[in-house]
Amino acid sequence: MVALTFDDGPSADTGALLDALGRAGARATFFLVGSRIASRDETVARIAREGSEIGSHSWDHARLTAQRSRGLPGLVRTSLAVRRAAGVRPRLFRPPYGEWSRGVWAAARRAGMRMGKWDVDPRDWESR
């Protein structure tokens, strides 16, 4: 089984990704950054409407292991933004940079999310 995932959106490229997925009859999981949702709320709604999953990738892509807040309120804030835009609640969480701690894991669980990482990193972030 292969699971396609996209991090750091929604972005200007998300619509094209959805178009390609639709042509292929495929679905993916989009791990969204909460602060980017309001400006692209129709795209977020489209992700859910077309059957792909929406996960949380934090509010602002900060290193969560460096944050002191036990509740990591950005996780809840991102979930609320997704719910407003798409009418669904994220069930998955991917920590920025793949960095997590017991505190981050516990905060995700308290927010009702399971944490997911990746097996293969295409390292596409190294070069634009």
Alpha helices in the chain (DSSP H): 14-24, 41-49, 73-86, 102-110
* pTM assigned to the model: 0.91
Span 40-89, pLDDT tens digits: 999 999 999 999 999 999 999 988 888 766 557 888 999 999 999 999 99
pLDDT band at 13 (very low <50, low <70, confident <90, very high): very high
Specify whether the CB–CB gap between 93 and 115 falls below 8 A: yes
Tell me which of 3-7, 69-73, 105-109 is least confident.
69-73
Count of other CB atoms within 10 angstroms of residue 53: 17
More confident residue, 114 or 64: 114
